[in-house]
Amino acid sequence: IAQCLVGSEMCIRDRVYLITGGAGGIGSAVARVIAKNIANGILILHYNSNKNGAENLKKEIEKENKNIKVYTLQADLEIKEECEKLCDLILKKFGVVDVLVNNAGYVEDKELSERTYEDFEKTIKINLIANFYLSKVLGYKMFEQKFGKIVNISSTSGLILHSGSMNPTSIDYDASKAGVNALTKNFAQEFAPYVNVNAVAPGWVDTPLNYELPEYVRQSENEKILKNRWASPEEIAELVWYLISDKADFINGSILSLIHI
């Protein structure tokens, strides 16, 4: 339940949660964990192409919890006008978003020598610029109401640990996630003390995004991980839930890295 000021009176309303890429592996897990932990609320599932996945998840959540209202909204976050339209639609209907999970992402591994300007631009637009725009527009609304939570889904690929942690075939992805980490720190400073802005930076997660990787790659990466396995989407989602819950109210401007090698 969220509180908001109307004139000099206080009103009580349901909290509004927005998950970008809400039909994807991590996004759908985050949606389910949020739905499991709240008694009521408004959950907005953004998607780009996976309409069926978003609609099926909406039905699933509303069936299990009659007090949660789920909305699905389509937008191609690569396109500036669609980012603007997404924010406009949400703010017109709800006035504010209380919790934003910037989860939508794009990756396409390709040899560096073959990567084009357009390839790099697409990744940066989806992974970084859209994240910036949504956090800026919705974050200032959070700041005005003196409450809000933003969690960015980053990656250990965005942490410049050592040269061995980088892979030139994903140079644009690595750069975009390093940028997300910088956004996290800057927005946390801009919106303090009212809005918590944090990031979760997982390593390998067992999502459809990685299903087509060759088995030898999976095995090679498993051998570097202390648990000898990849993280599940649900494990990432539980960490996201902790960050947006009242229990993590003091955590701000942090990048929680799931480094496991």
Catalytically active residues are 173
Q: Which of 9, 21, 3 has the alpha carbon at shortest distance from 205?
A: 21
Return d(Cα 179, Cα 181) in angstroms, integer. 5
Would you say 204 and 158 are in contact if contact means Cβ atoms under 8 Å apart?
A: no
Cα gap 35→58, rounded to integer Å: 11
State the first-to-last Cα distance of the chain, in angstroms, to the nearest integer: 40
- DSSP codes, 12-50: EE--EEEETTTTSHHHHHHHHHHHHH-SSEEEEEEESS-
Q: Please, where are the H alpha helices in the chain?
A: 25-37, 51-64, 80-94, 117-124, 130-145, 171-191, 215-222, 233-244
Q: Are 135 and 102 in contact (CB under 8 A)?
A: yes
- 3 has which bridge partners? 12
